[in-house]
């Protein structure tokens, strides 16, 4: 396999950042310069040779190189790469938490989750989602603290529910099984309430009935996601549309963000239609975009379940960490 070389300085590249194959140093520099809207001058009259040993000598031309790279507009690649990083990180966290059992079995086996395991994973998810936002959307750094908190909450819960649907469709694909994969390695279903909450105090049946509308809506959504067999680029496109749609909902969008959203829609359409001939590509594109509507239905039933669950749950949810609960 050919080595991955940074398109800016020639150093060893790590992965795709902002649509271009670059190293961590050039990626971090570009993120800062875009977030702070910095402009630079070249001390060599725009005639400098950028290398890993000299990339700090000139700031103007590395930025220009990144902006002019033909890969830069390929935002789907950036989104897909960032999502793959999220998945890999979540898997690593599960393995660390279950190190002894994995050593014994030599493979990762999914298991019913306890409340403590869920809380650890959910707190870790929050850090991973913040990293995803910073890594993938330069505009995120330009938002105010209040705007960042708001977009983190609304984007985060949708990101996680889509991620959970993808995992559930892979590991529990049976249509009649309403078991949900909440985190890599951890699942929960009707028979797992005692594992999660502890001994039944008589409220589990009521809790289950309350959550049933969400479980049914989620399973339908997960099944639809699974039947589409989405590629990472298609998943990345959905993640991008979720982010910019939430910016619009929070009234923090601008001409620039509208342009970015339109670019994702256009690239997602090209991605889908290049792999599916004739009208089938258009049908698939429409079905993929419609997942955003289905996701909103899932989110609404999820929020309703949390509200009613707090009322009838006898304090069961008081110490449960739930992204999007507030």
Alpha-carbon distance values, 160 to 119, 135, 288 (Å): 14, 17, 17
Domain that holds residue 274: 75-312
What three-state secondary structure class fits 325?
A: coil
35 and 125 housed in the same domain: no
Alpha carbons 116 and 257: distance in angstroms, whole number: 39
Band (pLDDT 50/70/90 cuts) for residue 62 is low
Tell whether the model's pLDDT for residue 184 goes beyond 60: yes
- What was the pLDDT predicted at 322? 82
Tell whether the model's pLDDT for residue 72 goes beyond 50: no
22 and 165 housed in the same domain: no
pTM for this one?
A: 0.76
Alpha carbons 221 and 223: distance in angstroms, whole number: 5
64 and 79 housed in the same domain: no
Q: Would you say 165 and 222 are in contact if contact means Cβ atoms under 8 Å apart?
A: yes
Alpha carbons 53 and 44: distance in angstroms, whole number: 16
What three-state secondary structure class fits 46?
A: coil
51 and 110 housed in the same domain: no
Last residue of a domain, one of 68, 97, 129: 68
pLDDT digits (tens, 9 = 90+) for 33-59: 655 666 777 766 666 666 655 556 666
Tell whether the model's pLDDT for residue 253 goes beyond 80: no
Domain count for the chain, please give it. Answer: 2
63 and 80 housed in the same domain: no
pLDDT digits (tens, 9 = 90+) for 285-321: 999 999 999 999 999 999 888 877 766 656 667 788 8
Tell whether the model's pLDDT for residue 68 goes beyond 80: no
Residue 107 is classified by DSSP as S
Measured at the CA of 252, the angle between CA 250 and CA 256, to 5 degrees, comes to: 135
Average pLDDT (158-176) is 96
Band (pLDDT 50/70/90 cuts) for residue 71 is very low
pLDDT digits (tens, 9 = 90+) for 216-245: 999 999 999 999 999 999 999 999 999 999
CATH number at residue 39: 3.30.50.10
CATH number at residue 119: 1.10.565.10
80 and 58 housed in the same domain: no
62 and 188 housed in the same domain: no
Q: Does residue 322 lie within any of the structural domains? A: no
């Amino acid at each position: 396999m050919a080595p991955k070389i940074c398109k800016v300085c020639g150093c060893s590249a790590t992965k795709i950042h902002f649509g271009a194959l670059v190293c961590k140093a050039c990626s971090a520099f570009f993120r800062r310069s875009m977030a702070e809207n910095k402009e630079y001058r070249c001390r060599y009259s725009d005639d400098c040779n950028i290398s890993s040993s000299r990339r700090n000598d000139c700031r103007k031309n590395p930025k220009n190189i990144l902006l002019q790279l033909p890969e830069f507009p390929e935002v789907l690649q950036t989104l897909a790469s960032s999502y793959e990083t999220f998945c890999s990180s979540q898997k690593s966290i599960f393995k660390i938490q279950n190190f002894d059992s994995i050593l014994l079995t030599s493979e990762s086996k999914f298991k019913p989750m306890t409340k403590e395991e869920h809380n650890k994973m959910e707190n870790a998810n929050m850090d991973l989602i913040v990293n995803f936002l910073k890594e993938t959307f330069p505009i995120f750094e330009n938002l105010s603290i209040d705007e960042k908190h708001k977009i983190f909450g609304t984007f985060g819960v949708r990101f996680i529910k889509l991620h959970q649907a993808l995992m559930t469709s892979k590991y529990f694909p049976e249509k009649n099984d309403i078991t949900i994969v909440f985190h890599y390695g951890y699942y929960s279903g009707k028979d797992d309430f005692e594992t999660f909450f502890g001994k039944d105090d008589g409220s589990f049946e009521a809790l289950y009935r309350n959550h049933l509308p969400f479980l049914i809506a989620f399973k339908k959504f997960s099944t639809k996601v699974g039947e589409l067999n989405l590629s990472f680029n298609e998943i990345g496109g959905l993640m991008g549309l979720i982010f910019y749609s939430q910016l619009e909902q929070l009234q923090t969008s601008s001409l620039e963000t509208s342009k970015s959203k339109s670019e994702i829609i256009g690239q997602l359409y090209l991605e889908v239609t290049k792999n599916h001939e004739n009208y089938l590509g258009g049908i698939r594109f429409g079905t993929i975009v419609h997942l955003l509507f289905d996701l909103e239905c899932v989110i609404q039933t999820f929020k309703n379940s949390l509200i009613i669950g707090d009322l009838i749950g006898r304090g069961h949810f008081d110490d449960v960490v739930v992204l999007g609960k507030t």
